[in-house]
Chain A
Amino acid sequence: EVQLVESGGDLVQPGGSLRLSCAASGFSLGSYAMSWVRQAPGKGLQWVSMISESGDNTWYAGSGKGRFTISRDVSKNTLYLQMDSLRAEDAAIYYCARRRLGQLSIYDYWGQGTLVTVSS
């Protein structure tokens, strides 16, 4: 059974850093592209970042470019999102999601999310 479990969400001050984790089971991260998607309070879903199946390519939404870093550890089957220079507008529930096999960004499995709060 495919499962994605996020962790690492916390209350952090503006300008602070946080690393989110997404533990995958039931499949190998080395075979799938993965994304982080977030939902701020009262807003819709927003794609944040993606890492390719090979791990060689990464993409970022403009809001996180230069501040966020997506990575993975295939041996631990865990996806990460390092978030630096956090801003109030980064507060959200962060979901990891598995992209279906192929090149299209259709997400067939999601985690339940981890909450990031940015406040002083």
Chain B
Amino acid sequence: EVVLTQSPGTLSLSPGERATLSCRASQSVSRRYLAWYQRKPGQAPRLLIYGASSRATDIPDRFSGSGSGTDFTLTISRLEPEDFAVYYCQQYDVPPQTFGQGTKLEIK
């Protein structure tokens, strides 16, 4: 199965800063079938990005996704207080679909 490795494990930043989260796949994810989700404590995960770079409904434009092949990135241009959460990437190209272990974005 495709192993997704997210880095860093924890990212400490301040509101207003730019966050760059990485997701690396053990083999190429063709057709850019990669999604990003946000999860806050006690809340349901929320779809942010699909198709590597398409924002889901009602997702602010400070969230953007990029990448192809084995390297993908989620960028949050200017962090808002509500953005501090755990972020997961998911590939849905090669069965079984797999998720990364997550990056925790915490307030510095």
Contact = CB atoms under 8 A, between A and B. Distances in A.
Interface of A: 4, 37, 43-47, 59, 61-62, 95, 97, 100, 104-113
B10 to A, nearest CB: 13
Contacts of A111: 44
Interface residues of B, number: 25
Contact of A104 (B92, B96, B98): B92
Given A44-B88, A45-B88, A112-B42, A107 B99 contact: no
A59 B102 CA distance: 24
Interface of B: 4, 6, 33, 35, 37, 42-47, 50, 56-57, 88, 90, 92, 95-102
A2 to B, nearest CB: 10
B101 A107 contact: no
A27 B46 CA distance: 17
Given A105-B92, A106-B47, A106-B50, A45 B56 contact: no
Given A104-B33, A108-B47, A44 B102 contact: yes
